[in-house]
Amino acid sequence: MLLSSLIDPISVEVGVQVENTQEVLERLVDLAEESGGVTNRKAVLKSLIEREQLCSTAVGKGVAIPHPKESLPGAVTGVALAVLRLNEGLNMDAPDKEPVKLFFLMGAEDRREHLQILGTLARLLKNDGLRRELMTATSAEEFVDRLSVAETSMNREEMRGE
CATH of domain 3-160: 3.40.930.10
The pLDDT assigned to 158 comes to 67
The pLDDT assigned to 94 comes to 93
pTM of structure = 0.92
Using alpha carbons, list the distances in angstroms from residue 118 to 20, 68, 78, 128, 161.
23, 11, 14, 18, 22
100-123 tens-digit pLDDT: 999 999 988 888 888 888 888 888
Calculate the dihedral angle through the C-alpha atoms of 60, 120, 115, 40, rounding to the nearest 10 degrees: 80
The pLDDT assigned to 155 comes to 74
Domain ranges of the chain: 3-160
The mean of the pLDDT values for the chain is: 91
Judge contact between 79 and 113, C-beta under 8 A.
yes
Whole-angstrom distance, CA of residue 108 vs CA of residue 76: 6
Using alpha carbons, list the distances in angstroms from residue 70 to 67, 73, 93, 115, 139.
8, 9, 22, 9, 31
20-73 tens-digit pLDDT: 999 999 999 999 999 999 999 999 999 999 999 999 999 999 999 999 887 777
Task: Specify burial of residue 106 (Cβ count, 10 A radius: 0-12, 13-18, 19+).
Answer: buried
